[in-house]
Amino acid sequence: MHHRRIRTTALVTTLVGAAVVAPLGTGTVAYAGVTAPVGDVGQFRQTFVENFSRDASANGPFARTYANSWQPYPDGTGGMYSSGSQISARNGLMDVRLDGQHGAAGTFGTPGDAWTHVGGKFSVRAKASGGDGNGAAFILWPTSNVWSDGEIDYPEADFAGEPMLHQHSMVPGQESTATSMSTGVTWRSWHTYSVEWIPGRSVTYLLDGRVIRTITSNVPTTAHRYMFQVGNWGAPGHLFIDWVSTYTYTG
């Protein structure tokens, strides 16, 4: 499994200004973070959506209620992750409680399909409240657990900073090098973050439905999973997730 601290903006390799341009393609998906998406988008067929409409408390009920949507790291993994005690659902939100002592991590999707993505579109609407000194990383991580099979992070950063994208080198021994970019927005307000991954060709990053960057090097070609991690440090707070949706690339 993949375990690491969230990077701050001071540690990124390459930082360029965010330029907002026209949306990529067309479709029926709501992009402004208002409602959960419905329908296919261009070359991407929607296969999974979760809007956390059922309230469920931590310490068992959330894990049972969302067993077909969320595959957590086992509690105690890495000596820092305890999704069972930290994650609940209320008022239509996945609520990740930050207490400075317990982190949380896991993969979105069903037990059978969560680890099988070879290309696709991956979208999440999220915001953070409090949690200074902590941060989150939403990650497309290789199912092989071989880092050089490619790592895509978006959004990722300290909650006190700007969410960023990081696309890592696939050259063995150089995986810590990444092409990176700031979004120019804040974790403290709702935003929709999307990745459109065409295997071996391109990764396009969208913020609230608009393209901010397309990268055509170090593009993965093998199965990945879509997940997030938060650490076990920093001030109390919450990471809220309104909805998450994944799509298959149809070519």
3-class DSSP state for residue 10?
helix
DSSP 8-state symbol, 59: T
Q: Which of 9-23, 71-85, 110-124 shows the lowest per-residue confidence on average (mean pLDDT)?
A: 9-23
User: Can you tell me the mean pLDDT for 214-218?
Assistant: 98
Q: pLDDT per residue over 37-95, tens digit each?
A: 999 999 999 999 999 999 999 999 999 999 999 999 999 999 999 999 999 999 999 99
Cβ(247)–Cβ(42) below 8 Å:
no
Percent of the chain with pLDDT over 90: 85
User: Can you tell me the mean pLDDT for 93-101?
Assistant: 97
User: Can you tell me the mean pLDDT for 109-116?
Assistant: 96
Q: pLDDT per residue over 171-206, tens digit each?
A: 999 999 999 999 999 999 999 999 999 999 999 999
| Cβ partners under 8 Å of residue 181, min gap 6 | 14, 15, 16, 17, 18, 164, 165, 205, 212, 213
* Secondary structure element (H or E) that encloses residue 65, with its range: helix 61-65
pLDDT band at 35 (very low <50, low <70, confident <90, very high): confident
For residue 100, pLDDT beyond 80? yes
Q: Report the b/e string of 42-66 with b at 16+ CB within 10 A.
A: ebbebbbbbbbeeebebeeebbebb
* Secondary structure element (H or E) that encloses residue 108, with its range: strand 104-108
Q: Report the b/e string of 108-117 with b at 16+ CB within 10 A.
A: bbbeeebbeb
pLDDT reported for residue 248: 98
For residue 26, pLDDT beyond 60? no
pLDDT reported for residue 34: 62
pLDDT reported for residue 24: 29
* Secondary structure element (H or E) that encloses residue 90, with its range: strand 87-90
pLDDT band at 119 (very low <50, low <70, confident <90, very high): very high
Q: Report the b/e string of 182-204 with b at 16+ CB within 10 A.
A: bbebebeeebbbbbbbbbeeebb
* Secondary structure element (H or E) that encloses residue 86, with its range: helix 83-86
For residue 22, pLDDT beyond 60? no
